[in-house]
Amino acid sequence: MRIRCLLIANRGEIAARLARTCRRLGIETVLAASEADLDSVPALLADRVVRLGPSAPQASYLSVAAVVAAATATGADAVHPGYGFLAESPALASACAQRGLVFVGPSAAHLRLLSDKVKARSEAAKAGLPVLPGGEVETLAGAESLSDEIGLPVLVKAAGGGGGRGMRLVREQGELAGALELASTEAREAFDDPRVYLERYVKRARHVEVQLLGDGADVVHAGDRDCSVQRRYQKLIEEAPAPDLPEELGDDMRGAAVRFARHLRYSSLGTVEFLVDPDRGEYYFLEVNPRIQVEHPVTEMVSGLDLVAEQLSLAEGNPLRLRQEEIELCGHAVECRVNAEDPARGFEPAPGVVGRAVFPAGEGIRVETALQAGTAVHPWYDSLVAKLVTAGADRSEAIRRLRGALDRCRIEGIATTLGLCRSLVASDELSAGAVDTGWLARFVAAGSGQLDGRPCGAGEAIRG
C-alpha cells in the first residue's frame, strides 16, 4: 500500500523532520498538534494541522483514541508516531490495524515483546546474544539472593520502560530495599508497570547501538553509534561510527544485532543497544528500540541514507531496498543535543519564550530544531530543543566542525545546555577517544564544564 497522507503524531524537531522527508517524497502530511503546538514550526511545515487535544500530553500525544480519531477524521492512511509518546505503543499499533491505518513501525506483537525488557532479554539469549547476569525480582528476599549471586553493584531497572526512568544503582546491600521501592514506584507512574529486574552493573561501560532495517524476511544494518556521553542515562552526545571499537568486537556485535532481528522476523526500522565492557573486551545486549532514534542523523550523515524514507517504504510493505554490501559508511559524524535545562540549577527544566535563535550553517553541518524567535518552550514536554550534527572525513574533523557550530549557535530568552555542550566538545578527553557512560557526571562534578565562563553548578541561571 502506498502512503499518500501521513498523520504525524508528534511534535518538535522530529515532527519537522518527518514533514520535510514527506514533502520530498510527495506524501501529504497532517500534523496532529496539541493546543500548545497549533502555531509551532512543524505546523507551518505540514500541509494541514488538526487539533489533537489539550496541551497536557496525557490528553493529546499520549491518547491512542485521540490519535486514531485525528487520522480517521483527516483522511490519513498512515500514522507516524516519531519517538517518545506512543512510538512504542502496542495499543496504537493495534488500533491502527483495526481502523485500516498503516502504523509506521513494527507490529503490535513485536512492540509488546520488546517493551518488556525481561522478555526481550530472554529472547535475545535464545538468539545467542550475550546478556548481563540478572533477572526479574518480585520480593526483597529474591532481590537480595540474586544480588548475592551476581555480585554488587547492580542496577535495578524497570521491566516495562526505558530512558533512565525506573532505574537505580545499588552499590551496597543496605541500599537495595529503597532502590526497589523507588524504581518500582517510578516504573508504575511512568509505564503503568511496577515490575523491576536486576542486572549486573558494568563500571566504565560504553553504550553502543546498531541501526537496523528489516522487512520481515531479511535484515541489514547501517553501522553502529556510540551514545556513551550521558547524564542520568539520558544521551547528550552521539557519534557514528563508534570510535575505538576493536574490529572483531564491532563485527561480532553488528552481526549479533542482525541475527536477533532475523530471529524475530523484524519488519521496520529499529536499533539494538549494547553495553560494551572495554576492560573485558565483551559486549552485552541491553534492549531494542523499535522506532526512529533521536540520534539517527549521525547514521544518515555517514551512510547517505534517509532513514525516515526507508522506514516509510518498509511500512508500505516493500522489501528492503538495499543489500548489506550496498550500504557504504564513509567518514564520521557527531551529534550534540541541546536541552532547555539549566545546568546551574541542577539541570531543572527551563521553559519560556525564545527571544532569539541563530543556528549555524556550512559544509558538514546539519541542524534539527523547531525553534525560532518567539517559539514557546512548554513545561509539559521533553526538554530537547535542538540537535547540532556535524560530519567530516574523520572524527577529528567532525568534532572540530561541531565545536565551531556550537560556538556560532545562539538561543536567547531561555536557559539551555549550550554552554555545557561547548565545554564537553572542547574537552581533551572526548577528543582523545571513546569515553564511558559515567564520564559526563565526573566531568561536571569536577567543575570542568564552563557555562559562559563559569564552572558548572555555580551562579545564577545562564541564558543560552
Our answer to whether residue 356 is catalytic in this structure is no
CA distance 222 to 240: 10
> Regarding beta strands 28-34 and 5-8, do their DSSP bridges make them parallel or antiparallel, or are they unpaired?
parallel
Q: Is 74 exposed, middle or buried (0-12, 13-18, 19+ CB in 10 A)?
A: middle
Burial of 222 (0-12, 13-18, 19+ CB in 10 A): buried
Name the catalytic one among 200, 291, 337, 366.
291
Q: Retrieve residue 237's grid coordinates.
A: 552526545
Instruction: List, by residue number, the catalytic residues.
Output: 291
